[in-house]
Structure 1
Amino acid sequence: MRLVESADVPESPQRQEDTQDRDTQTRRRPLADLAALIRPSHAAKAILLVPVALIGAAPPTPAEVVEVMWATVAFMVASAAVYIGNDIADRHRDRLHPVKRHRPVAAGRVSVLTAAACCAVLLAVLAAVVARSPAASWPVLVYLVLNVAYTRLLKHLPLIDVGTVAVGFVLRVLQGYEVTGDRVPGWLLITVFSMSLLLLIGKRRRELLEGGAPHRPALRGYSMELTNWLLQIASVLALVSGLMYLRDEGPFGPQHGQTAMMLSTPFALFALFRYLQLQLVHKEGGDPVRVLLRDRVMVANSVVWAAVLGVTLLLVHL
């Protein structure tokens, strides 16, 4: 016997609550999709790299802090616009990837027109920020031009693709030093470049395991053996250049640089060992931001390392 619920019978409280929850999720989903377009977690790249210029032998002035804050905002806005542009250009290939197919544009939850409008708004905001100091904003402008070339051509060239993205991280550091007017440490730039290469090669390695060349044509120029060798080379270069920066060009001065280098060696080695463990043993590393900011072991090591260097720097100044 089939029971038919009368239209005159009021809905149960549970059904009304479920309906309200679905309506709330429907309203919130577009906002969440628009927020996902700009990759909020990736703002950490600018927040961590641009203010490095403030870490010097002398305390920064309030004016320098303000300028670095504006420079950080400029790179956050520029990178968000680049992410949206890449999502629009790669929407067809992203649908072939097990993770990226859930991105708002690839999944069809945000139309190409809406995404393009958001990108245009971000570029307008960036233009307003750059207008404050056009001459000192050349790194962020080069970053935009470089990413246009990356989207159109460079991302399809093996090895050139990871090098191009790594240059973007170097430009973030240069932007901070450009607005402060301080001398750019050469060893620091090499460290940032090689560390970026390490994370990017690890990402390519993970993509080889997950999707292969249909998602990213440049992967045809990589193999697991090649990425394993490249990880080793980038690890050695990042370790050596980072320690040389602390010894010769860091904020500790010539008298205490060697002490900072010696104190940092075990932390730097452990960070590299942990990253390689995540890559080769736990099969992680597809999202470098997630690895660096959400892996508890990596975060704990970084916090203790920063505390040790912070106390050392304080003692140097005192």
Structure 2
Amino acid sequence: MPEEPGGSGLPGEPRRGSLVRGLLRLVRPFQWPKNAVVLVLPLLASGASPWPAVAGALPVLVLFVLASSATYVVNDLADRERDRRHPVKRHRPIASGAVPVPVAIVLGAVLYLALLAGSAAAGAAAVPVLVYAVTNILYSFVLKHVSVVDVFVIATGFVLRVCAGAMAASVPISSWFLLCVFSVCILLGFGKRRHELTSVQGGPSELHRPALRAYSVPFLNSMVTFAASVTVLAYVSFLQSDAAAGGMRQLRILLSTPLAVFAIARYLQILLVSEGGGEPTRTLFTDRTMLAVGGLWLTGFGLLLAVQSW
């Protein structure tokens, strides 16, 4: 059951336990794994011994956790009135009253101060993090209401993660990998918009997300198909590039490309046939088929890495 705001006998005063749970829900810890994309290029571009590069990128990973958590706080503050009219989002901590607005403002300020302090210590690698933070403040108040721009801003956030991880680890930034990340995020973003549009057509969806007024199902179907095609092309091109070079280059392409294509096909099936995909993160981490494909990809990558270092 969704957590309902409670009190200690006084209206509007949440219990301490409820407040702590609300604060935790507010920063969306289940979304933190998204930031692991920071570590992908250090893992792929560092040859047989990637761990020093991965260790170098870990501080930037922490900064992105802080930045994304602060973004969720700002977003929920900006959307609290619309969220209260939404059948699901009305249970969000601020909209439901589990976290009072002043407490949320203090939490957001603390997160941004921690981000600034950490960025000062991280040096140039923190620049993409700060660009991400500023862009997402604009997104929360303005850009999320502009169709197409809303999805492109989200995708750009993941490109910034990749760039920051590569800069922190001092590894080359692959343009093909950036395109792959950008296009797969476009795929997931337009997929989410399609689910929102189809699941609440005829309802109050436009009141909650004004950008939906400029979308249509045929347009979104075209965009997810286009983005899926670009993703596969960019992925294979990245595997063929110098950034993913190594004695196992052709074997990487042979083994991993079918898995990547299958994963995209499975997501399209969930989106277009099962009318799912409303929460891409939950879909990727709860669908058994997607988990199996991801496990096979990780196993194959680990084996190839072990063979290279042997």
Question: TM (normalized to structure 2)?
Answer: 0.89
Aligned length, in residue pairs: 293
Deviates more, 1:156-165 or 1:124-133: 124-133
2:3 corresponds in structure 1 to none
Specify which structure has the bigger relative contact order, considering alpha-carbon pairs within 8 angstroms and separated by 6 or more residues. 2
Q: Unaligned stretches of 5+ in structure 2?
A: 1-6, 9-13
Note closer, same or farther for the CA distance 1:43–1:163 as it changes in structure 2 (3 Å cut): same
Deviates more, 1:188-197 or 1:203-212: 203-212
- Tell me, yes or no, if the aligned pair for 1:78 and 1:140 is still in contact at 8 Å: yes
- Tell me, yes or no, if the aligned pair for 1:252 and 1:313 is still in contact at 8 Å: no
Report 1:78-97 matches (<5 A): 78-97=67-86
Note closer, same or farther for the CA distance 1:305–1:250 as it changes in structure 2 (3 Å cut): farther
Residue 265 of structure 1 and its aligned partner are, at CA, apart by 2.0
Root-mean-square deviation (CA, aligned residues, Å) is: 1.8
Deviates more, 1:155-164 or 1:144-153: 144-153
1:274 corresponds in structure 2 to 266
Report 1:58-137 matches (<5 A): 58-60=48-50, 62=52, 64-137=53-126
Q: d(CA) in 2 for partners of 1:207 and 1:233? A: 19
Report 1:145-160 matches (<5 A): 145-160=134-149
Note closer, same or farther for the CA distance 1:271–1:61 as it changes in structure 2 (3 Å cut): closer
2:11 corresponds in structure 1 to none
Q: d(CA) in 2 for partners of 1:191 and 1:97? A: 34
Residue from 218, 225, 237 that aligns with 1:225: 218
Determine if the alignment matches structure 1 residue 161 to structure 2 residue 146. Answer: no
Describe the superposition over 1:134-187 as per-residue Cα deviations: whole angstroms up to 9, x where unpaired.
322100000011112212321111111100110001111111011112210111
Describe the superposition over 1:85-138 as per-residue Cα deviations: whole angstroms up to 9, x where unpaired.
000001112223222111011112211111111101111211221121232210
Residue 58 of structure 1 and its aligned partner are, at CA, apart by 4.5
Residue 252 of structure 1 and its aligned partner are, at CA, apart by 4.2
Residue from 273, 297, 300 that aligns with 1:308: 300
Note closer, same or farther for the CA distance 1:250–1:99 as it changes in structure 2 (3 Å cut): farther
- Tell me, yes or no, if the aligned pair for 1:247 and 1:260 is still in contact at 8 Å: no
Determine if the alignment matches structure 1 residue 181 to structure 2 residue 174. Answer: no
Q: d(CA) in 2 for partners of 1:266 and 1:66? A: 30
Residue from 53, 60, 63 that aligns with 2:41: 53
Residue 240 of structure 1 and its aligned partner are, at CA, apart by 1.1
Amino acid at match of 1:239: V
Q: Following TM superposition, where does structure 1 have runs of at least 4 consecutive aligned residues deviating by more than 4 angstroms?
A: none
Determine if the alignment matches structure 1 residue 256 to structure 2 residue 266. Answer: no
1:10 corresponds in structure 2 to none
Q: d(CA) in 2 for partners of 1:242 and 1:96? A: 41
- Tell me, yes or no, if the aligned pair for 2:172 and 2:243 is still in contact at 8 Å: no
Q: d(CA) in 2 for partners of 1:221 and 1:249? A: 41
Q: Unaligned stretches of 5+ in structure 1?
A: 1-21
Deviates more, 1:307-316 or 1:190-199: 307-316
Residue 314 of structure 1 and its aligned partner are, at CA, apart by 2.4
Note closer, same or farther for the CA distance 1:167–1:129 as it changes in structure 2 (3 Å cut): same
Q: d(CA) in 2 for partners of 1:33 and 1:133? A: 30
State the structure with more CA Rg.
1
Identity %: 41
Residue 316 of structure 1 and its aligned partner are, at CA, apart by 3.0
Note closer, same or farther for the CA distance 1:61–1:239 as it changes in structure 2 (3 Å cut): closer
- Tell me, yes or no, if the aligned pair for 2:73 and 2:104 is still in contact at 8 Å: yes
2:4 corresponds in structure 1 to none
- Tell me, yes or no, if the aligned pair for 2:48 and 2:308 is still in contact at 8 Å: no
Determine if the alignment matches structure 1 residue 289 to structure 2 residue 286. Answer: no
